[in-house]
Structure 1
Amino acid sequence: MWQSLTSTGGLLLELVGVGPDVDPHTKVTFRAIGDAVMPETPGLAGELGPEHVSGGLAVDLDAFTVTYVDDGFQLGLPHLGPQGNIPIADPIAHLLDSAALTLVERGDNERDPDVDRALSLLGPDDPSPRAVEDVVGPFAKLSRRDRLRAIAIVDEFDVEFTPTDDDLFELDAGLVGQLVIGFMEMIYYSEWQGYDEFTQPPSRRSHPNDRSAVQSWRQTGFPGFADGYAALRGYVGTTDSPLGGGDTWATVDEAADVRIVRESGGFRENDYETSDYREPFPVESG
């Protein structure tokens, strides 16, 4: 179980609720993360089209993240099971609650916390708002902008946890911020939504490769998998470089004349003057 969390101000909190099941508190907290990191953007409908309105919650990005961090992080601890996993979604949710409390205590929140803001994130298949209201944490009550501020505060925390009596782990909680922001953004624009079952090993997954089946593909105009997407686009070269030439594909640094060019080059004899080179150590003959 995660035992303690220490901030620069000496805050010591017991983190509870670690377990294999996703409880309502954790579910709402991760929806609040997804809603802040990949929000709905109705203002883009007129400019870019209706496919740009939906956010992460429309594709269950929160549920994917909970499943991934609980089942996919293999820490190599054989006494915790064949995969050595430690479910961490619940502790992350409590950690973000601690950051939210710190934000409010400092007076750095722009808007007052509101439980209705959290309850609005519930889906039609979830328990009723009345049943969930008592377990909603302070993080999910914050506005979207304030949630991002709370995530930034996590970088100030150090975490210790002991999954068993024989293990003690210490980590910089700033990694949590990278996970819930960077990881969610990366996954949102990946192909995962099209898989029939993303928890299966890659060899057992099937993907329709259908642009209409993946929300982020529709938004970005990505047409799907195709041979050649990883093809070489060119060679790094300059005006005087022997390593590449021909037409310019793209300019990397105009001032330094570094370009991506379409034709390969190669080293030529006598490109470098080495007549005055001397071996640093004597060369034995024979």
Structure 2
Amino acid sequence: MNPSHGSNASWQTEATFRALVEAIVPNMPDDGGVQAAGAVDTDIHQYMIWELNHSLSLFMGFYLANIPLACATAQMLNAGASELLASGNAQPAFSFAPGGECPFVSLSPFDRIRVLFMLEQLQVDLGRLPPPYKDDGGFVRFIVDYLNRGTMFGFYSEWSAYGSTRLRTPTERRLEYFPISWRQVGYPGVVKGYRAFGGFLLTIKRNGGGSRDG
């Protein structure tokens, strides 16, 4: 992996995103009782960190700028988790981070989803969130929706199959194997030349007279 294109995330950020994607796409047994791979198994937490650090732009004054958002987003999730724990309505599932540095990780998967709901409904103290989310309910709602959609998109896309090149820029990525999630859902992959719908009969009128059906 080219380190200049990696996530370069702190362990707190990486642990928080692992907990996030695990809650959204967990390991589940298939029809045969075999444990199917989930988002953590396919490194979708790395996909989310990369995308948040490289693919979203914010207006800074009058100009769009690429602002790395993974660290701030992890801090937002942990702030929401702290409020849920303080309310007494959640029980930690296990202890992971020393000193309470990642309360989101300590929650059960069910309670992690509750934190997303709290943030989406703005049932948190917006003033205690890190910039750029502080006091910006609209952006908080946008990013929570993105976290859900992005995790699902990353899992069911071909991203994990880029293997050792997955954290490089899109033009440098190369498929190294067939995506695990495609195999799980029975998707055969891209078939060149396949057309599900042939379209409608189109009559093309030419300048100078005449027409042709196409």
In proportion to residue count, which structure has more helix?
2
The structural deviation recorded for 1:200 is 4.1
1:145 and 2:110 aligned? yes
Of 47, 50, 55, 1:64 maps to: 47
1:186 and 2:153 aligned? yes
User: Residue 93 of structure 1 aligns with which residue?
Assistant: 74
Q: Which has the larger radius of gyration?
A: 1
User: Residue 210 of structure 2 aligns with which residue?
Assistant: none
Contact conserved, 1:101 with 1:138, CA < 8 A, in 2?
Answer: yes
- Distance between the aligned counterparts of 2:137 and 2:84, measured in 1? 21
- Distance between the aligned counterparts of 1:101 and 1:201, measured in 2? 35
The structural deviation recorded for 1:72 is 2.2
Contact conserved, 2:21 with 2:45, CA < 8 A, in 1?
Answer: yes
Closer/same/farther in 2, CA of residues 202 and 160 from structure 1, 3 Å limit: closer
User: Residue 207 of structure 2 aligns with which residue?
Assistant: none
TM-score by length of 1: 0.56
- Distance between the aligned counterparts of 1:198 and 1:74, measured in 2? 21
- Distance between the aligned counterparts of 2:185 and 2:174, measured in 1? 22
Encode CA deviations 1:159-184: one digit per residue, 9 max, x unaligned.
6836xxxxx99452112221221110
Closer/same/farther in 2, CA of residues 53 and 29 from structure 1, 3 Å limit: same
User: Residue 106 of structure 1 aligns with which residue?
Assistant: 87
For the aligned residues, what is the CA RMSD? 3.3
1:32 and 2:19 aligned? yes
User: Counterparts in 2 of 1:48-63, with a 5 A limit?
Assistant: 48=32, 50=34, 53-63=36-46
Amino acid at match of 1:140: V
Closer/same/farther in 2, CA of residues 24 and 206 from structure 1, 3 Å limit: closer
Across the two proteins, how many residue pairs are aligned to each other? 189
The structural deviation recorded for 1:228 is 4.0
User: Counterparts in 2 of 1:1-286, with a 5 A limit?
Assistant: 21-42=8-29, 44=30, 47-48=31-32, 50=34, 53-75=36-58, 84-109=65-90, 112-116=91-95, 119=96, 132-134=97-99, 136-155=101-120, 156=122, 158=126, 161=131, 170=136, 172=138, 173-195=140-162, 196-208=164-176, 210-211=177-178, 214-229=179-194, 231-233=195-197, 264=200
Aligned partner of residue 32 in structure 1, secondary structure? helix
Contact conserved, 2:53 with 2:67, CA < 8 A, in 1?
Answer: yes
State, as a whole percentage, how many aligned pairs show the same letter.
25
TM-score by length of 2: 0.73
Unaligned runs of 5+ in 1: 1-19, 120-131, 163-167, 236-263, 267-286
Compare relative contact order (CA 8 Å, sep 6+) and give the higher one, 1 or 2: 2
